[in-house]
Chains A and B, each alone.
Chain A
Amino acid sequence: MMKIPQDKLISQINSLFNPRSIAIVGLPRGLKAGKLFLLALLDQGYPGKIYPVNPSAEEIDGLKSYPSLSSIPDPVDLAIILTPHKITLPVIKECAKKGVKGIVLFTAGYKETGTDEGNDREQEIVRIAHSAGMRIIGPNGMGLYSPKTKISFFPQLSKEPGTVGIISHSGSLTNILGYVAPKKGIRFSKVVSLGNECDLNSADFLEYLGKDTDTQVIGAYLEGIKDGSRFFRALRNASFEKPVVIWKVGLTPEGSQAAASHTGAMTGTVDIWKGIAKQGGALQVAGIEEWIDTLMAFSLLPSDPGNRVAIISGPGGLAVSAAEACGREKLKLAELLPKTRKILAEFVPDTGTSLKNPVDVGLTASLDMDIYIEAARTVAADPNVDIITMIGVGFSDETNKQYTDAMIQARKEFNKPFMIVNVPGLNSEFAGTFCNAGIPFFESAERAMKSCAKLVRYHSWLQRINKSS
């Protein structure tokens, strides 16, 4: 493990995200998996120099190809290595000699094989890298994506820079997130697919993203943790700066400690992890939906949203279940002022059964969107309301557009956070419209309340920590 001062680590990782030149070693001529790395850079519009290295070609996709890394005349900042592990060691040595700053090791066959050979191979690579001041992402890592500096590891990822930083142990999950993100209003500052962490690990990136001014939310998908104490400190420090949303897998409830004492007998890896996450201020999620919902919520909702929730729903059943979800998540159902209820009574038809919160405007509102719209505006004007949750739908694309535009307008005008909950019939395109206008769109009220509660919890954790320190 390389122990270096934080500012040096940050500077090293910065240069990985901002390379002036990239060599792709072992780039295939044809359309094989490795070609995606080149396609990704070209698609993203990478402005620096790209050097394919492949002794069997003089040119690949219009770019001059070199027989070896050493034969490249100019400096190389980042090397993406696609060669099989059997021939990688000499390549690493060349990188070190050439003064390459960082390596993305895409291929595998190292410590994860569980063999002595694999382990030795890995240790040797790391030793060579460190003696040259070079850092490694991988093995089995896809590397880096940052729209700001136009580097990427997969084609068709968004080119719009944003504020969400991602640390992932799974390249494919990162791609899935990248694919879904634009429709959710999620945009990325810096993303790293870490692989098996022979060198740079999640603690390093937590430290880095914690201090990165472009990043305002951190999302992590983690399998194993290397250097637990360091990880915990990095997590806690990062959480002081911004929310860290962690999806942790690889927890075996059976991982109990040797049970000499009662304490030992009761300790499993799940229990310890729960304590770590809570103490570190992390927001824990399980599963991709929850991960994405939470990243969306933290991206689009204000950091101090308040906790008094108002619910306005066309379908009565959904109004009630949303209110229950609100209670389960320990949010408060806002108490509407009598003035507000009086105004609502003027235009909500009798089929709407409730003018207290949750406000049930009845299904006939779908035939007259003004009912939804006026209800939303009236409730948003109530000083007792922090967050407005809309559960509604129109009968046509036109009326849905009217609804969407009006909600976006209301959020701006009243300067209060809105959450939109899907009702079947709402064309999924509207989801994207809402999110890109800064309003989170949830598939259910349960999911909306769950995410909202996380914001409230993070905010109160921050306050408690700041008070005690």
Chain B
Amino acid sequence: MPTLKTLLQDGGRNLSEFESKKVLASYNIPVTNEMILSDAGDLQEAVKKIGYPMVLKACSSEILHKTEKGLVHTGITNLDEAKSAYDFIIEGMEKTGGDVLAQEMIKGKRELVVGLIRDPQFGPCVMFGLGGIFTEVLKDVSFRVAPVSRGDALDLMEDIRGKKILDSFRGMPPVDRDLLADIITAVGKIGIDHDMVQEIDINPLIISEGKPIAVDAAIILKNK
């Protein structure tokens, strides 16, 4: 069983959501409180550790497009719901295998995307913009080359058309731009530190009470 460190060094397969978030957390990027359930019995522990409302998700490096496959169950508020969600996900993963991830449910209306792409000419580049389900439709994103300085990160935030979303918005507090800048810089640093990292996707990065939290993440590695 390769450790994260080995995986990041050797490449070969992509990281699961859980593994990706461990990497992000090691760079001080705020992530959801979550745990892997080895069996249905772990649900009790998950309730204790994470509480309600809870999210249960399929977690695997092989599964893309979890939502479309019905493999994400949000707003779980009691053990019965949790158990039936668990069973549903296990059945859905029969062909691919994988784990069930139990995660805190973050409340927040504003969703951003932060990503990384390793450009063949310019090296690791950080992407920032409006996230959520409309990301690819709106394409309101902008890029900077890593290393992304603090000034670059603040500039990058001003680049998007939807930048007003970062201000005080519909009664919600303004986004903590310092924290957001740190996240942008950190994502760039992951690309610089780990040559095998080809792409990073943090979408959505949900703003909850002004603070950004990575709710879903994927790290894609180069093939061996």
Contacts and interface: CB of A to CB of B under 8 A. Distances in A.
B136 interface: yes
Given A228-B119, A279-B155, A263 B145 contact: no
B125 interface: yes
A274 B142 CA distance: 8
Contacts of A465: 151
B117 A262 contact: no
A465 B154 CA distance: 11
Contacts of B198: 260
B122 A278 contact: no
A468 B143 contact: no
A229 B192 CA distance: 12
Contacts of A278: 142, 144, 155, 159
Nearest to B150: A468
Contacts of B135: 262, 266
Given A260-B198, A261-B220, A266 B159 contact: no
Interface stretch (B48-56, B74-82, B100-108, B199-207): B199-207
A461 to B, nearest CB: 9
B113 interface: yes
A264 interface: yes
B127 A266 contact: yes
B151 A265 contact: no
Contacts of A228: 119, 121-123
Interface residues of A, number: 24
Contact of A275 (B113, B145, B149, B203): B145
Interface residues of B, number: 33
A287 to B, nearest CB: 23
A272 B122 contact: yes
Q: What secondary structure prevails in chain B residues at the interface with A?
A: strand
Contacts of A225: 121
B116 interface: yes
Nearest to B143: A275
A230 to B, nearest CB: 10
Interface string B112-152: 01011101011101010000000110010111110001111
B136 A267 contact: no
Given A229-B123, A272-B122, A279-B152, A263 B142 contact: no
A278 B151 CA distance: 12
A265 B14 CA distance: 16
B224 to A, nearest CB: 15
A271 B143 contact: yes
A430 interface: no
A86 interface: no
Contacts of B155: 278-279, 464
Contact of A266 (B116, B119, B139, B149): B139
A32 to B, nearest CB: 38
A262 B115 contact: yes
A144 to B, nearest CB: 27
Interface in A267-300: 267, 271-272, 274-276, 278-279
A257 interface: yes
A257 B117 contact: yes
Contacts of A275: 125, 142-145, 156
A276 B200 CA distance: 19
B143 A272 contact: yes
A264 B117 contact: yes
B182 to A, nearest CB: 15
Contact of B122 (A232, A264, A265, A469): A232
Contact of A274 (B123, B136, B143, B149): B143
B24 interface: no
Contacts of B201: 261-263
Nearest to A267: B117
A228 B125 CA distance: 12
B218 interface: yes
Contacts of A276: 122, 143, 145
Rank and list the top 10 A-B pairs by shortest CB-CB distance, nearest first. A263-B115, A275-B143, A228-B121, A468-B151, A228-B122, A261-B201, A261-B199, A260-B220, A267-B117, A264-B199
Given A266-B135, A279-B145, 18 more contacts: A225-B121, A228-B122, A229-B122, A229-B123, A261-B218, A262-B135, A262-B136, A262-B201, A263-B117, A264-B117, A266-B115, A266-B127, A267-B119, A267-B125, A272-B117, A275-B145, A276-B145, A279-B155
25 contacts: A228-B119, A228-B121, A232-B122, A260-B14, A260-B198, A261-B199, A261-B201, A261-B218, A262-B115, A262-B203, A263-B115, A263-B117, A263-B199, A264-B117, A266-B115, A266-B135, A271-B141, A275-B156, A278-B142, A278-B159, A279-B155, A464-B155, A468-B149, A468-B150, A468-B151
Interface of A: 225, 228-229, 232, 257, 260-267, 271-272, 274-276, 278-279, 464-465, 468-469
